[in-house]
Amino acid sequence: MDSLAEQFIVVVDQSKLVDALGSTFPVPVEVLPMAISPVIQALEKLGGKPELRMGIKKDGPVITDQGNMVLDVTFSAIPHPAELEKTINNIPGVLENGIFVGVTDLVLIGEIQDGHPIVREM
């Protein structure tokens, strides 16, 4: 649904900046609960290492507002993000993933420089 927004702005802190996608953070993938096993298998065939996101201070997995589950998928590298985004989204049972190729209009990065908070645009 992010692509339906009139303007899509991503807000992060400097810890989210990486040299290459896949080098630091897993890709979140929202999955229909009934499809979790086949989606895990499909993601593993793509070279990913999926883990079901578990709740903090609660029992069980994280459930989205729409009643779906979230897999955090680690890839050793993501050299072609647009291709991987499309491939993941075409797996039956996948609703969305967190790669966001061609959707973002503006990235705001909050950071501390010389002891003062600043926001810079990318």
Quote the pLDDT of residue 29.
97
Question: CA-CA distance, 92 to 32, in Å (whole number)?
Answer: 9
Question: CA-CA distance, 111 to 119, in Å (whole number)?
Answer: 6
Quote the pLDDT of residue 1.
56
Q: Is the pLDDT of residue 102 over 80?
A: yes
Question: CA-CA distance, 23 to 20, in Å (whole number)?
Answer: 6
For the segment 38-78, what is each residue's pLDDT rounded down to a tens digit?
999 999 999 999 999 998 877 889 899 999 999 999 999 89
At residue 63's C-alpha, the angle toward residues 100 and 53, to 5°, is 70
What is the reported pTM?
A: 0.82
Q: Is the pLDDT of residue 17 over 60?
A: yes
Cα-Cα end-to-end distance for the chain:
22
Instruction: Enter the tokens of residue 86.
Output: 């499309």
Task: Sketch out the chain's domains with CATH numbers.
Answer: 2-121 (3.30.70.260)
